[in-house]
Amino acid sequence: MPASTLRAAGMVTLVAAALLGSAYALGRSLVPEHPPQGTGVAASVHAPRYGDQPPSTDFPGPPAGGYGGPSPDASPSAPDQARQGDDSEGPYGAQITTGSARVALTFDDGPDPHWTPQVLALLKEYGVKATFCVVGENVESHPDLVRSIVADGHTLCNHSWNHDIGLGKLSPEAIRNDLLRTSDAIRAAAPDARIAYFRQPGGAWTNPVVSVCEELGMTPLHWAVDPSDWQAPGADRIVDTVLAQTKPGSIVLMHDAGGDRSGTVEALQHLLPELLHRYQLEALPTGTT
C-alpha cells in the first residue's frame, strides 16, 4: 500500500477517535452528578440551641395544638395505650387542666437573663402568679433568676437539664439522672423551693419518662393551649390564639427563653388584663401551704 494511503488512513483514525472522545465528554457533562451519600457531616456547623429545636416528628402533636406530644388518635403499643388518660387528661395521663375554673399560665425554657425579668415584671404589675418550667443548664447559669421567680410566689417545674426532646427514649436510669441533676440545680439556687411538676421537652412523653417523674414525686405537666410562641409568630397571633382557645381550667403554654421572646412579652401586655377580666389566674399548686 502506498505511503500516502497509509497516512490518509491514519488521519481518518485520529479524527474519528477525537470525535468519539468529544461525544463522550459531552454526554458526561449532561448527566447530573449525585451528591455524596453517608458522609456523616452535618449540613451546618451552626446547630440550633435547645429553644430553637423543631417539634419531634416521632411524636405527632395533639389535635388541639402543641408540639411533640403523642396524639390521642395515634395507635400506640399496648403498654403505651395503658397510660393514655380520658378526655380530661393529656398524653400518657399528663395534666392539662388546673382541676378548677382557674387558668394557669406556664413559661418554658428559662430562666433567661433578658426575657425572664420582663415576664416577671409584667406578672408582678398585674398581680398574677404563674408556673415556670426551668431548664437545668439555665438554672445553673442564672440561679439569681430562680430565686426571683420563687420570691415572687411563682411555682417551679423541672423541664430537664438541656431540653432534650429525645429524653423519653433513653433508659430509665438516664432519665432519672437528668431529672435529678435538674432538681439538684434548682434546689442549689432555691433550697426551700418545692418541685412538684415535670414537663417533658417538646411534650414528647413516653411511659419511661412519666414513670420516672412520678417515681421522683413530680406530676407530669402538659398543656391545653399552645399559641406556638416558640416559633415567634408575632404578638397579635399569640394573643388571638390564647384568647380563642383558653377556657376555665386551661393550662397555657408560653416561653420566656429559647429564642427571641419579644412577641411573647408584648402579647402578655394585652393578654394579662383581658385574661384577668375573664378568669382567675393561678400558679399551679405545689402541695404545700
DSSP SS3 for 52: helix
Per-residue pLDDT of 3-42, as tens digits, reads 555 455 555 454 455 545 554 444 444 443 433 333 332 3
Known active-site residue 154: no
Do 127 and 105 form a contact (C-beta atoms < 8 A)?
A: no
b vs e for 156-187, b when ≥16 Cβ sit within 10 Å of the residue's Cβ?
Answer: bbbbbbbbbbebbbbeeeebbebbebbbebbb
Number of domains in the chain: 1
Residues written for the chain: 289
pLDDT in tens, 189-231: 999 999 999 999 999 999 999 999 999 999 999 999 999 999 9
Q: What is the DSSP letter of 166?
A: G
- Residue 211 inside a domain? The answer is yes
Answer yes or no: is 220 within a domain: yes
In a domain, 23, yes or no: no
Active-site entry in 73, 108, 184, 260: 108
- What is the CATH number for 125? 3.20.20.370
Q: Indicate the residue type of 39.
A: T
pTM: 0.74
Beta bridge partners of 221: 95
Q: Give the pLDDT confidence score for residue 88 in this predicted structure.
A: 61
Does 12 reside within a domain?
no
Catalytic residue list contains 255 = yes
Strand 155-158 to 131-134 pairing: parallel
What was the pLDDT predicted at 11?
53
Strands (E), 24-77: none
Measure the N-to-C terminal CA separation of the chain; round to a whole number of Å. Answer: 116
| Residue 138 grid cell | 439555665
Give phi and psi for 91, each to the nearest 5: -60, 135
Query: Cα separations (Å) of 7 from 15, 20, 104?
Result: 12, 20, 96
Q: Is 14 exposed, middle or buried (0-12, 13-18, 19+ CB in 10 A)?
A: exposed
Q: Is residue 14 part of a domain?
A: no
**Spans of the chain, pLDDT less than 50:** 6, 12, 14-15, 19, 23-86, 288-289
User: How high is the pLDDT of residue 286?
Assistant: 87
Catalytic residue among 142, 154, 163, 255: 255
Asked if residue 104 lies in contact with residue 155, where contact means CB atoms within 8 angstroms, the answer is: no
Report the distance separating Cα 119 and Cα 164, nearest Å: 24
Q: Residue 159 corresponds to which cell in the numbers above?
A: 423541664
- Burial (Cβ within 10 Å: 0-12, 13-18, ≥19) of residue 84: middle
For residue 186, being part of any structural domain is answered with: yes
pLDDT of residue 195: 97
d(CA 192, CA 211): 25
| Domain-located, residue 7 | no
Question: What kind and span of H or E run contains 269?
Answer: helix 262-278
Give residue 193's domain range. 93-282
261 within some domain? yes
Whole-number Å distance between alpha carbons of 34 and 15? 33
pLDDT at 4: 52
